[in-house]
Amino acid sequence: MRKTILHMDLDTFFVSCERLLDNRLNNRPVLIGGTSDRGVVAACSYEARVYGIHSAMPMKMARLLCPGAVVIRGDSGTYSKFSDMVTEIVKERAPVFEKSSIDEFYVDITGMDRFVQTSYLWSRELREKILKETNLPISFGLSTSKTVSKVGTGEAKPNNHIEIPEGNEMPFLAPLSIKKIPMVGDKTYHKLRSMGVEKIRTVQEMPMELMERVLGKNGTVIWKKAQGIDNTPVVAWNERKSISSERTFEKDTTDVTKLRSLLVAMAENLCYQLRNGNKLTACVTVKIRYSDFQTYTKQKRIPYTSLDHTLIAVVLDLFEKMYERRVLIRLIGVCFSYLVGGTYQIRLFEDSEKLIKLYQAMDLVRNRYGQSAVKRAIGMGSTTIGGMNPFNGKTPIIPAH
C-alpha cells in the first residue's frame, strides 16, 4: 500500500501570531527580529517579501529596502503558546504525527480512506478546525511521501491546500525550480545551475549515476526526491522526548564552584548536541541527588531554543533555587525535554547577527576539532563531558594533544 502523507505548515507563523494580537498589522509589511541595526530578520510578512526581504537578512538592510515596514522585536514565549495550541488539535485527531518544527507537521494517514470519505476531505477538515480554533492561517500538501507533500505545501501557500494523487508526483514536480527540493541549499543550487540544471524535470531525465558523481551520496538522494521517491517515515512525536547528562561523583561534594562548572559544561554540551541534531528544547530540568540518596528535580518551561547562553542561565537559576540543604551531593544532572525540530535561528529576533554568527563559528570549530575545542571558561575544569549524539549517532572527535 502506498503511503498517504499530509504536510501542514503555519503561514508566516510569527507574523500571523502578531496580527492576532494587533489587527492593525494586517496587510502591512511586517518585520520580526532584532530591532537594532545589528539585528537580523527572523520572519517577515508576504507584503515585506515583495521588497526582496527574507529571513536572516540584516535588519539594517531590510529597513533600507522597505522603510515603511513595521518592525517588531517578537516574543518567543507567545509563539510557543500558539504552536502548542495547534499541536493539541493535531494530536487529538491525527493517528500518527510528527512535529518537525515549531510551525510544521507531518501526519501519516495511510489507510484512512477505510474510515472516512477521503483522506483529502479529512485533511481539509483538520485544517478548517485549526483555522476556526486558532485563527492562524495554515497550508497543506497531501501526497505519497514527505518530500512531495512538503513541496506541495509550498506551492499551495498562502493559506491554501493541494493534493498530488499517486502517479502525479513526477509531473507535479517537473516544472518547478530545483531549489524547491528539500536538501538543495544555496551551494548545491549554484552547483546545479552551473551544470545548466534549473528545473526538476532536468534532474528527472538525468542518470542517477551522474548526480552521484557530481554531488556524492546527496546527489543520489536528490535524484530520488526529484522522482517523487522518499520512503522517510513519519516519526511519532512525543512531547517528552529528551536529552540529558548526569555525573555521579567518586567523592560526594559541596564545592559549589565545581558544581556550577560541571552544570555549565553539561548544558553547553547538550546545547551543541541539540544544534547538531537540529533540535530545540522547551523545558529544562536540573537534578540533584544527595549523599543520603534523596533525589530532587526542578524544571522550567521556556520558549523553544538551543542557545547556550539562554539555557545555561536557566540551568544555574534552577540549581540556585533547589540547592538549599547545603549537604554533600552525590549526583547532579541536566535534562532538556519537549524537543522539536528546528535551528537556533528560531531566536533570531532576540539575538544579533553577530551573536548568531558566533554560534555558527563555534559549532564549525567543534565539528572539525572536537566539541571540547571551544568551551566557556567556567566549564574548563570538566573535561569528560560528551558522548555520542543521540540525534545523528555520531561520536564526537577527540582532538589530539
Backbone angles phi, psi at 304, to 5 degrees: -55, 130
3-state secondary structure labels for all residues of 97-144: EEEEECCEEEEECCCHHHCCCCHHHHHHHHHHHHHHHHCCCEEEEEEC
18, 47, 98, 104: the active-site residue? 104
Please, which residues have CB within 8 angstroms of residue 197's CB and are 6 or more apart in sequence? 178, 203, 206
Q: Are 30 and 17 in contact (CB under 8 A)?
A: no
Query: For the residues of 337-351, what is the DSSP string, one character each?
Result: ES-EE--GGGGGGGS
**What one-character-per-residue DSSP string does 19-45 give?**
HHH-GGGTTS-EEEE--STTBBEEEE-
Distance CA 76, CA 221 (A): 34
Q: Are strands 340-341 and 279-290 parallel, antiparallel or unpaired?
A: antiparallel
Q: Which of 64, 20, 57 is nearest to 349 (CA)?
A: 57
Tell me the binding residues for Mg(2+).
9, 103
| Structural Rg of the chain based on CA atoms | 23
- Cβ-contact 123, 140 below 8 angstroms: yes
Would residue 104 show up in a list of annotated catalytic residues for this protein?
yes
Binding residues: 9, 103
Give whole-number Cα distances, 55 to 130, 253, 271, in Å.
25, 47, 23
* Three-point CA angle 233, 236, 240, nearest 5°: 145
Residues marked active site are found at 104
